[in-house]
Amino acid sequence: MSCDSTVRLTERRNPRSIAIDERSTRDILDVFHAEDRAAVEAVAKVRDSVEAVIDAVVAALSRGGRLFYVGAGTSGRLGVLDASECPPTFGSPPGQVVGIIAGGDAALRRSVEAAEDDPTHGARAIRERDVGCDDFVVGIAASGRTPYVLGAVEEAHKQGARTALLSVTPPSDDVGAFVDVFITPIVGPEIIAGSTRLKAGTATKLILNQMTTAVMIRLGKVHDNLMVDVQATNAKLRDRARWIVMEVAGVEADAADTALARADGRAKVACLMLMRGLSAEEAHRLLDPVGRSLRAALRD
């Protein structure tokens, strides 16, 4: 089958899914499994670029800056999702990781496709949030050409922020003037031509998972492999905080509950109180000079 080279990679037909409408359910699933593996492999190949962004974001957040995701459609929703999960998972301030989607919050539930076509709207979103030299902005665009996203990234660059572009298609050469790091996992054509919520979305979600999780680990939000900065705001998370304190401090549930109550539900503080015989205030004072890292505080 020939393929028109002028058609964007995200819009081309996948030869492995031709006549998929005539296949059995099992065969359809087999196609999905094979294509999803291709997405994972593509993500592994861009590890160096992801690493560069993670290190730059750690530096930005360490000096009080913020991480912004900017996208439209599926890409925007994935960015907003990743940003919204950082506070409950890692106890990060709500404004530290910010998701921006073309069309605003309404676009999270209902497609606002035309919103992605105007670069000036993306630029305005950046200015409205006072993005500056301490911040890092990641544009997310499967095609690498979404005007809203490119407008936002270019404006962020003008304001002195460092920038990255995450796409599954090589972007045009002219965007190199305002993008510091390109993350380009080439996943190939989708099972359903143009439906970038599939492999493109999978690759994007994998990379966003890696980025924020690695950043938060580097910032001391994880001890061993436990989310010691979890915000215990519901029954499930309170149970998780209790279990984390029991695991780290080696105590029973009652002792964990008592320490958590004195620590205002903060598992990291409760662990340090129990392991060093401290009050909550003393634990906070020990954590502050070491960047709130429990491991560093225990070494000291």
Catalytic residue from among 11, 51, 85, 282: 85
Residue 174 DSSP SS3: helix
Tell me, yes or no, if 85 is annotated catalytic: yes
Rounded to the nearest 10 degrees, what angle do helices 280-287 and 267-276 cross at?
100
Nearest-angstrom CA–CA distance, 184 and 170: 6
Which candidate in 116, 154, 155, 190 is catalytic? 116
Write out the E strands in the chain: 67-71, 97-101, 136-140, 162-166, 181-183
Residues 129 and 70: their CA atoms lie apart, in Å, by: 12
CA angle, 20 then 25 then 29, to 5°:
80
Q: Catalytic: 247?
A: no
Cβ pair 199, 142 in contact under 8 A = no
Which pair of tokens denotes residue 191? 């099972």
Give the other-Cβ count within 10 Å of 182's Cβ: 18
Quote helix, strand, coil % in the chain, to nearest 5: 55, 10, 35
End-to-end CA distance of the chain: 65
H helices, E strands: number in the chain:
11, 5
Environment class of residue 215 by beta-carbon count within 10 Å: exposed (0-12), middle (13-18) or buried (19+)? buried
Write out the catalytic residue numbers. 85, 116
